[in-house]
């Protein structure tokens, strides 16, 4: 049986550009700490800084704004921990934020929740009301406000620039989790940074880069205390020997996606395929699509399925050769309702997330369209 991978929003296969670049690095055979002054160290330093420059180009920022991390979760935690010590006031965020944002913020201190609409969107009006509530209850504005670029479960794109502009009027710094959006839609963070974004988190494996590397992109002039201590790497902003091999792969993918029109072309193809997935799913009675299907990420869709829970649907699809994911936190470790869907006011236990990527094919879509109706019908008949 052939397999069909529809879980790119979790991790996308390594692109050939990254694979080739890392193979060249391996063949180079240089082992050295880029912080050393010997010839080998200077060689590795040059390669690392070239990688930083390529990542910066993709996101429209200066190289010195890019801090390499082990991934998006570390970047989020570093941003939150680095900002907290010097500020009073709670952190403001919506329950649709990724768990790394929600949990790290809760550990840092008081959290004020921003309500969302039925699409999972943070509206400027809700942000304004939250800022006023913070001033009334705490006597101060939030220490930090979090606004993801786009939702990782339903794909809804957030009004980041409007939120940043609103917060700038009250000198409230904004941190943005862009791990779901990076590589899927064009992100020129330099423009947004000029408005007052403090930090943006991205992760390479979400768009075909290697596992184990991401970046925290800080706004111009922003200083954050390091989250990981013990060395002066990354200009004293993140201790620990840098993952040079992964940085090389990250940079190769960043360069490929910096080509004019590359992301736009891939986005258009992804949208065609997710539209086809939605059409196939909605042909089954009792299935709905969550989130804003007009203003959304092109690569993913979240479905609600009446009458069956997430896990048996995933298992049924897997038996048909299709890898998918649930909007709920369904894995080998946990099975909990999705806080994102619950914040939207919909059933957080009966959902299916499908996501495509650079390696997806029309056959993947066709396989889902052929298998999904039978899987749902079979599960409903068992329940009856």
What is the rounded CA–CA span in Å between residue 187 and residue 178?
9
Residues in the chain: 384
Backbone phi and psi for residue 182, each to the nearest 5 degrees, phi listed first: -60, 130
177 DSSP β-pair partners = 201
Write the DSSP symbol of residue 238. Answer: S
∠ at Cα 282 (352, 207), nearest 5°? 45
Q: Which of 134, 147, 167, 330 is catalytic?
A: 330
What is the rounded CA–CA span in Å between residue 105 and residue 81?
8
Closest CA to 298 of 267, 277, 324, 319: 267
330 a catalytic residue: yes
Ramachandran quadrant class, 60 (left: phi over 0; alpha: psi -120 to 50; beta: rest): left
Take residue 5 and report the two structure tokens written for it.
């991978």
Whether residue 215 contacts residue 55, with contact meaning beta carbons closer than 8 Å, is answered with yes
The catalytic residue positions are 330
């Amino acid at each position: 049986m052939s397999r069909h991978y529809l879980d790119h929003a979790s991790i996308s296969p390594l692109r050939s550009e990254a694979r080739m670049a890392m193979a060249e690095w391996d063949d180079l055979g240089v082992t050295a700490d880029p912080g050393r002054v010997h010839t080998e160290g200077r060689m590795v330093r040059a390669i690392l800084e070239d990688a930083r420059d390529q990542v910066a180009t993709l996101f429209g920022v200066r190289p010195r704004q890019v801090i390499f991390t082990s991934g998006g979760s570390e970047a989020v935690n570093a941003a939150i921990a680095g900002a907290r010590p010097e500020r009073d006031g709670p952190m403001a965020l919506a329950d649709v934020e990724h768990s790394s944002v929600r949990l790290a913020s809760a550990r840092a201190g008081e959290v004020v929740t921003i309500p969302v609409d039925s699409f999972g969107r943070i509206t400027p009006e809700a942000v304004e009301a939250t800022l006023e509530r913070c001033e009334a209850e705490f006597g101060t504005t939030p220490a930090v406000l979090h606004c993801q670029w786009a939702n990782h479960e339903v794909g809804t794109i957030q009004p980041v620039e409007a939120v940043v502009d609103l917060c700038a009027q009250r000198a409230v710094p904004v941190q943005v989790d862009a791990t779901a959006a990076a590589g899927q839609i064009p992100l020129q963070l330099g423009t947004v940074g000029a408005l007052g974004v403090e930090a943006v988190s991205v992760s390479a494996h979400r768009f075909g880069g290697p596992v184990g590397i991401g970046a925290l992109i800080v706004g111009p002039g922003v200083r954050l205390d390091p989250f990981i201590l013990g060395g002066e790497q990354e200009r004293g902003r993140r201790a620990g020997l840098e993952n040079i091999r992964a940085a090389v792969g990250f940079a190769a993918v960043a360069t490929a996606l910096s080509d004019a029109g590359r992301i736009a072309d891939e986005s258009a193809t992804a949208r065609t395929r997710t539209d086809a997935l939605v059409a196939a799913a909605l042909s089954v009675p009792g299935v709905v699509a969550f989130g804003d299907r007009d203003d959304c990420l092109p690569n993913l869709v979240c479905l609600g399925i009446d009458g069956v829970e997430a896990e048996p649907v995933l298992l049924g699809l897997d038996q048909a050769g299709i890898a998918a994911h649930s909007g709920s936190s369904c894995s080998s470790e946990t099975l909990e309702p999705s806080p994102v869907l619950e914040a939207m006011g919909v059933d957080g236990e009966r959902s299916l997330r499908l996501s495509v990527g650079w390696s997806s094919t029309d056959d993947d879509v066709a396989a889902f369209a052929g298998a999904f109706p039978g899987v749902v019908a079979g599960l409903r008949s068992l329940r009856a």
